[in-house]
Amino acid sequence: MTASHSPPAGTHPAGPATVCPASLTELFLAFNWMALQGFGGVLTVVQREVVERRRWMTPEEFIEEWAVAQVMPGPNVINLGLMLGDRFFGWRGAVTALLGLLTVPLVLVMFLGLVYGRFQHLPQVAGALRAMSAVAAGMIMATALKLLPALRRHPLGIPFAAAIAIGSFVAIALVRVPLLAVLLGIGGLACCLTWRKLAP
């Protein structure tokens, strides 16, 4: 297991000192290992590996980078991998982290897809998948609920931030407005209002 990596001698466990991955191979294996541990949500795994175990980043750095990875388009774990890889090895590191996150999980997911395709006509399989689909949907909604406390200190205040969240939910889920319109309309409005509230 690649996770049994120990920090080099001379760095204190509680200190802010961080270490760099020794090679592109280590970077690749590390992200591969994180991806394989992450079912549903990879954030917890990444935080534990990158900050606590391998100490490639301090907790403060991690939170800042994560905010950027979250806000930028694209899957946030992949974004974080790109940013981390770039920091250590430039664009080659970014590509290595991306491949580390995707290759082995891609093979696994294709395998599961093929197995499913072979048995999809059984009513039990259809039933199991329908229920699992509902469980997965519940997980995604739970992620939204878990992020709600982050709105407590929102510059627009709780009621207004909640109104934006609910408004975008209603627009997409109930009215079925296309995503781009919601991003430009509600998103643009939210960013402008936030900009006015923030001290110059």
Partner 1 sequence: MTIHLTFSDWLALLAQFMLLSVMSVSGAIGTVPDMHRFLVDRQGWLSDLQFNACVTIAQASPGPNTLFVALMGWNVGLNAGGGLAAGPHAWLLGVLGLVVTMVGILLPSSLITYNAARWGQRNRHWRSVRAFKQGMAPLVIGLLMATGWILVRNGADVHRPWGVWVVALISALLVWRTRIHLLWLLGAGAVAGALGLV
What is the footprint of partner 1 within residues 118-137 (CB under 8 A)?
A: 120, 123-137
Please give the Cα distance from 190 to 157 (Å, whole number). Answer: 12
From the list 5-13, 14-22, 51-59, 141-149, the region that binds partner 1 by CB under 8 A is 141-149
Nearer to partner 1, 26 or 65 (CB): 65
Nearer to partner 1, 7 or 65 (CB): 65
Tokens at residue 137, please? 């949907």
Q: Torsions phi, psi of 15, nearest 5?
A: -75, 165
Nearer to partner 1, 20 or 67 (CB): 67
Is residue 76 close enough to count as binding partner 1 by CB under 8 A? yes
Is residue 142 close enough to count as binding partner 1 by CB under 8 A? yes
Nearer to partner 1, 1 or 14 (CB): 1
State in angstroms the smallest separation of the CB of 112 from partner 1. Answer: 5
Q: Torsions phi, psi of 168, nearest 5?
A: -70, -35
Among positive and negative, which fits the CA dihedral 101, 102, 104, 109?
Answer: positive
Q: Torsions phi, psi of 41, nearest 5?
A: -120, 125
Is residue 1 close enough to count as binding partner 1 by CB under 8 A? no
State in angstroms the smallest separation of the CB of 124 from partner 1. Answer: 4
State in angstroms the smallest separation of the CB of 134 from partner 1. Answer: 4
What is the footprint of partner 1 within residues 25-64 (CB under 8 A)?
A: 35-42, 64
Tokens at residue 70, please? 């979250």
State in angstroms the smallest separation of the CB of 54 from partner 1. Answer: 19
Give the contacts of 112 (CB within 8 A, at least 6 positions apart): none
Alpha helices, DSSP H, located in 72-187: 76-119, 123-147, 158-169, 179-182
